[in-house]
Amino acid sequence: MGMFDVTVWVAEWFLALFFLGAGVPKIAGRGIERWVGFDQVPRVMTIGIGVSEVAAAVGLVVPLLVGTAEWATPLAGLGIAVISLMATGFHIRNREWLPALETALWAALGGTIAAARWSRFSGGPSISRDALVGLLMVLVPALIVNLVVLANTTARPDLVAERG
């Protein structure tokens, strides 16, 4: 396994673990209070988002791990990109700039993984492996930094007042 495959695998597992951790609480209905805005979303929609996130997380790693339905991996990356871009729009609308950046970075990572794995199934033109590795080497650390900053940032005062 070359550097390209190792880099993409690390990125896939990183993305899958994050979205598994994000999706399960939305399905279970526990722990979602830490995410801003889910009090504005109907419960059935929250469950749907959670199911989509868990399915995409599974689709990122299981097909290539077991060697079947490998076409699902780039589609899972694309699905995460779409879900994340919708979340970015939500955060921008609510003027939540750091979470908007975070979800945009998740979307970029999902799209990059989709592009990296798409070449396995497409005979058409694809992005060079060197460009994809470079992009992944920027996106993963950027996401980690963003998550650390988000974790250390105090909540918006108006939301703290609402929660009591």
Distance in angstroms (rounded) separating the CA atoms of residues 86 and 81: 9
Comparing 4-13, 29-38, 126-135, the range with the smallest average pLDDT is 29-38
Q: Are 106 and 18 within 8 A, CB to CB?
A: yes
Average of per-residue pLDDT across 77-103: 89
pLDDT score of 24: 94
- The backbone region for 139, taken as left when phi is positive above 0, alpha when psi lies in -120 to 50, beta otherwise, is alpha
Average of per-residue pLDDT across 125-143: 79
Give the closest residue to 82 by CA, choosing from 60, 40, 49, 43: 49
- Residue 147 or residue 57, greater confidence: 57
